[in-house]
Amino acid sequence: MTLSDIIYLRCVDCKKTLKVLERDLEETVVINALLQCMSCGRHFPIIDKVGIFFKKDFALDYLLPNEIKKIQECHYDVVLKELPPSTSGNPEPQFNGFNTYDHYWEQVQVFEEEDFLKNDYTSRELFKRFIPINFEDFQEKTIFIACGGGGRDTYHVLQYNPKKVFIVEITSALYRYNKLFPKNMDKLVLLRGDLRFLPIQNNVADISICDHALQHVQNHKIGFKSLAETTKPKGSIGICVYSYENNLLMTHLIEPLKGLLIKIPRSILRLLSLFPAMGIWLIIHLIYMPLNKILPDLSKNLFLNEHMIFWSKLSLKSIWAACYDLMTAPVSYHFKKSELEEIAFSHSLQIIKLVNTHSTTWSMICER
């Protein structure tokens, strides 16, 4: 993030503009800074190139020990002093979701740059299938990536030379972006925060993307509203979400079991998730793949055939991570096609594409 990007940011409590009180730069890139809301006076820190923007009432729950230490080292103590005490055991499902994904990006799925070149879940080909938008249009445009996670979306967007990329993500995964994208830190505006309470002004992005994430936002309608408002008129919005259709195993088995699953210690659940992953991998390679070769027409009618063919391109490691993700995400919504049409309609968006990708997710492209 550079100093000139601050005008596009806003206070998450009162939505007013921010001013810079203190800053520490590395050439044009802001490393640390202290910002203040020009209306309510609240302070927000930028630490190690990541802006931290949580609503006042919950901010201390979401701040991590390392961040608190760094805020103190930078003498931005005012940030902490004006916050109410932590609610210890924040009851919001979104808070559980944050904890689960923070662990996921730190322990389960830690991406290195070379992972994005593999023919796996991280590939450009799959990202383009999930978000079927013309990627050439990213050139010289401002892109908003909602819920950027481990950096997969950002990597692929950066290949098309955008002008700026705003990324909002609730976990601390953003601190790894400096290592993943060292040459692009002037282009990236890294914002640790909640999509529901966005620190970005309205009408900033030419194109907004939210891949495999809106289903994990506690109130997806508010999450989508944030996406729509951040996008300029005539701009595009691309999302990919779990579909309700064809997802019987998830909606009628895994989701009802989740209440129990999330009580199991993470390390044990991680181990347990290896069993369905190995089972799925074997079924794919011993049944689905040969049958699709021998009897392609008949195989089309097999249960979840399209999805299994999609997963046949994934390594066992990726299937394992996916199974763990599917079993643990505390907030996980499955969208009906009609709900997506309704959500687009409610923001007066024109649906350009709405396709059931791999028969288990909906990919929707809208124009504002």
Residues that bind ligand SAM (CB under 6 A): 94, 97, 101, 147-150, 152-153, 168-171, 194-196, 211-213, 216-217
Q: What angle do CA 142, 169, 17 make, to 5 degrees?
A: 60
SS3 category, 26: strand
What is the rounded distance in angstroms from the CA atom of residue 217 to the CA atom of residue 239? Answer: 13
Rounded to the nearest angstrom, the gap between the alpha carbon of residue 27 and the centroid of all alpha carbons in its chain is 29
To ligand SAM, the closest distance from the beta carbon of 298 in angstroms equals 33
The pair of structure tokens assigned to 32 is 């640390």
For ligand SAM, the closer of residues 219 and 305 by Cβ is: 219
Which helix or strand (DSSP H or E) is residue 305 part of?
Answer: helix 305-311
For ligand SAM, the closer of residues 24 and 57 by Cβ is: 57
To ligand SAM, the closest distance from the beta carbon of 154 in angstroms equals 9
Give the nearest residue (CB) to ligand SAM: 149
Which amino acid would we find at residue 276? P
To ligand SAM, the closest distance from the beta carbon of 57 in angstroms equals 15
For ligand SAM, the closer of residues 53 and 288 by Cβ is: 53
To ligand SAM, the closest distance from the beta carbon of 170 in angstroms equals 4
To ligand SAM, the closest distance from the beta carbon of 267 in angstroms equals 20
For ligand SAM, the closer of residues 171 and 243 by Cβ is: 171
Provide the edge-to-edge strand list for the sheet that holds 43-47. Answer: 18-26, 29-37, 43-47, 50-53, 188-193, 164-169, 142-146, 205-211, 231-242, 361-367, 350-357
- 185: which residues sit within 8 A by CB, 6+ positions away? 1, 29, 49, 177, 178
CA-to-CA separations, 180 to 28, 150, 165, 174, 263, in angstroms, rounded: 19, 10, 15, 10, 33
For ligand SAM, the closer of residues 153 and 206 by Cβ is: 153
Query: Can you say whether the dihedral through the CA atoms of 353, 218, 56, 40 is positive or negative?
Result: positive
For ligand SAM, the closer of residues 195 and 349 by Cβ is: 195
Do strands 29-37 and 18-26 pair parallel, antiparallel, or not at all (unpaired)?
Answer: antiparallel
Tell which phi-psi region holds residue 359, choosing left (phi > 0), alpha (psi between -120 and 50) or beta.
Answer: left
Of the candidates 77, 55, 67, the one whose C-alpha atom is nearest the C-alpha of residue 11 is 55
CA-to-CA separations, 350 to 239, 243, 274, 340, in angstroms, rounded: 14, 20, 42, 12
What is the rounded distance in angstroms from the CA atom of residue 90 to the CA atom of residue 62? Answer: 9
To ligand SAM, the closest distance from the beta carbon of 12 in angstroms equals 11
To ligand SAM, the closest distance from the beta carbon of 41 in angstroms equals 25
Tally of residues, the chain: 368
Residue pair 246/360 in contact (Cβ under 8 Å)? The answer is yes
